[in-house]
Amino acid sequence: MSALLELQSVSQRYGDKTVVNDMSFALQQGEIACLLGSSGCGKTTVLRCIAGFEPLAGGEIHLAGRRLASVADSVPAHLRQIGMVFQDYALFPHLNVQENVGFGLGKLSRSEREARVMAVLEVVGLQAYAQAFPHELSGGQQQRVALARALAPKPQLLLLDEPFSNLDVDLRERLSREVRDILKSQGTTAILVTHDQHEAFAMADKVGVMHQGQLQQWAPPYELYHEPASRYVADFIGQGAFVPGRVTGPRCVTLELGEYCSAVPRQFAEGDQVDVLLRPDDVVHDDASLVTAKVLGKVFRGSEFLYTLQLDSGQQVLAQVPSHHNHAIGEAIGIRLELDHLIAFRRA
């Protein structure tokens, strides 16, 4: 099966500054992808290149087998059949909800248009607000109007530029689930841009982590978390601490906390000095363990505690512990490693 969207070595420059560098990825029909990165990493620019708002400095973009853009020529933005939800929603203040949503349906007849508008409003749950003006709606409602407006013309691809950044956390979580359900129910292929990994994990089938205009890794969220391709990704995604270790066999590393051997062989030579990423869930509290660590800090998270622990060497690690193990700061507790995935990088 060939991909719906394909970016091949896409680059983009503002003046001398390279904003996007040699970016390639593919997206299958019906998939939801997310470009994740801190602000200024170039993720929004990629979105704008796909939408057709920015010219390419290198590479090509293909959609459904058609070349959308290359350095030499490009399909005008309005002919790409790509919908977009803007960060500030960009609702038309002079039109009511119905008119906003029906805006891109100029080619339909009046009755078809009305039917489509009402259908989309139903999808986003705003039938009752068809006659309201944008300023009369809440932030979440405005967001859903923006989504409905972008969905109404049935775009081949939907782009969402930080769609939830203007909303509060609760609403953000709820809406991101809702939006994912809506997109999935419509079979919409979508790319979302965000700096919030929870949002990315909640929404996306594939996540692309970007850093300084480069795509660091393009993978499903699980893989990203457990098998980060670079030290940057490992650091950026999730929590954890790097602990020094020494390679003691083709599959084994010795840490302060003992030797660990993974199921899969790694590309290290024996004797190499490495840094091993320990996620909080890799460090398990075990009163029976001989290894102890001192509690430096703790954060209560309801079902569990996140402890910051200090090993004898002074090295700090994080541990996720069920919340009935309530230890005081300064107390020494027994721990042991329970690693499923060995994440190690050669020390520079």
Partner 1 sequence: MSRLHTLVIPWLLACLIALCTIVPLGVVMLSALTPDPAIWSHLIEFTLPELFKNTAIMLLGVGAGVLLLGVSLAWLVAVYDFPGRRIFNWALMLPLAMPAYVLAFAQVGLLEFTGPVQTWLRPHFEDMRWFPQIRSAWGLVLVMTLAFYPYVYLLSRNAFATMGRRALEVGQSLGLSRSQGFWRIALPMARPWIAGGLILVIMESLADFGTVAVFNYDTFTSAIYKAWFALFSLDTAKQIASLLVILVFIVLVLEQRSRGRRAYAQAGRAAPQPRLLLAGWRGWAATLAAGSVVLVAFVIPMLQLAYWASLDFANQFSSDFLGYAWRSVSLSLIAAMLVTAIALVLAYLVRRQGSQAMRNLARVATMGYAIPGTVLAVGVFVPVAWLDNQIIALMGWGGDVTAVFKGTLLAMLLAFVARFLAVAYSSVDTAMNRITRSHDEAARNLGCSGWALLRRVYLPLLSGGLFTGVLMVFVDVMKEMPITLMTRPFGWDTLSVRVYNMTAEGMWDQAALPAIAIVLVGLIPTILLSRQRDVA
**Near partner 1 by CB under 8 A: residue from 42, 52, 213, 245:** 52
The answer to whether residues 1 and 51 touch, using CB atoms and an 8 Å cutoff, is: no
SS3 string, 187-252, reads CCCEEEEECCHHHHHHHCCEEEEEECCEEEEEECHHHHHHCCCCHHHHHHCCCCEEEEEEECCCCE
**Near partner 1 by CB under 8 A: residue from 29, 81, 248, 262:** 81
Integer angstrom CA distances of residue 109 from 105, 156, 305:
9, 21, 59
Look up residue 66 and give its two tokens. Answer: 């058609």
How far apart (Å, rounded) are the C-alpha atoms in residues 127 and 121?
Answer: 5
**Near partner 1 by CB under 8 A: residue from 62, 116, 144, 149:** 149
Q: Does 135 bind partner 1 (CB under 8 A)?
A: yes
Q: Does 291 bind partner 1 (CB under 8 A)?
A: no
Q: To the nearest whole angstrom, how small is the minimum distance from the Cβ of residue 7 to partner 1?
A: 18
Q: Does 91 bind partner 1 (CB under 8 A)?
A: yes
- Touching partner 1, residues 2-31 (CB under 8 A): 14
Q: Does 106 bind partner 1 (CB under 8 A)?
A: yes
**Near partner 1 by CB under 8 A: residue from 153, 213, 221, 280:** 153
Nearer to partner 1, 32 or 151 (CB): 151
Q: To the nearest whole angstrom, how small is the minimum distance from the Cβ of residue 84 to partner 1?
A: 4
How far apart (Å, rounded) are the C-alpha atoms in residues 140 and 168?
Answer: 9
Q: To the nearest whole angstrom, how small is the minimum distance from the Cβ of residue 194 to partner 1?
A: 17
Dihedrals phi, psi of 310, to nearest 5 degrees: -115, 125
**Near partner 1 by CB under 8 A: residue from 7, 31, 61, 89:** 89
Nearer to partner 1, 117 or 234 (CB): 117
Dihedrals phi, psi of 168, to nearest 5 degrees: -80, 165
How far apart (Å, rounded) are the C-alpha atoms in residues 268 and 320?
Answer: 29
Which spans of this chain sit near partner 1 (rule: CB under 8 A)? 14, 51-53, 76-79, 81-84, 86-95, 103-104, 106-107, 133-135, 142, 149-150, 153, 159, 166
